[in-house]
Amino acid sequence: MLRGAAAPTATDEQKKELEKIELIKKNIGLYPDFPKAGVLFRDTCTILRQPNAFQALKEVLVQCVRVHFVETECIGGLDARGFLIGPIIALELRIPFIPIRKRGKLPGKVTTEEYTKEYGKDAVEIQDESVTAGAKILLVDDLLATGGSLQASCNLIEKCYGEVIGCLVIAEIENLHGRAQIPVPLHSIVKY
């Protein structure tokens, strides 16, 4: 920057967006030693108890899709907290919502993807008729930690011949390096 030149200033719209993000962050609950000693659990469900924060979250998520993932044709939400935010985004954008559930929770013909967790294996499933071949799908979840379930969900959509165009999460725990596991663009609203 040239000496004497004014620093660029944020627009009113950008300031409002930053205020909403601060409100969201302030309303994420912190629970030490859950689910085990030494873990600081970040609970996004606490946002739902504060209507102003919940409204801000909806607005920020929808705006993020409109700006960063414009080609989205469907929203896929991960069990269970992706179910809380995914349908809200899908409804606002007037596009379908696809639930991605833990094994054994969906009726009908399903496709399964197993993945390794810290203490063993788990699996996610999707109903086969949920994904149209070539559909451009944005996956949403509340939190990115190690990236296992989100990566497995990306693989699952690909198995069903859909195209994952990106992932959107409310919060990201950066020191767990989950982003490195995700094979598509990822956007997080809040970073820790």
**Taking a C-beta distance cutoff of 8 angstroms, is the pair 175, 49 a contact?**
no
Buried b or exposed e, range 19-44, using 16+ CB within 10 angstroms: ebeebbbebbeeeeeeeeeeeeebbb
Q: Which tokens is 21 given?
A: 């993000």
CB 7 within 8 A of CB 1: yes
Q: Please tell me which residue in 81, 113, 125, 172 is annotated as part of the active site.
A: 81
> Which candidate in 3, 71, 94, 118 is catalytic?
118
User: In the annotation, is 118 catalytic?
Assistant: yes
125 is a catalytic site residue: no
**DSSP strand pairing (40-43 vs 97-102):** unpaired
Catalytic residues: 81, 118
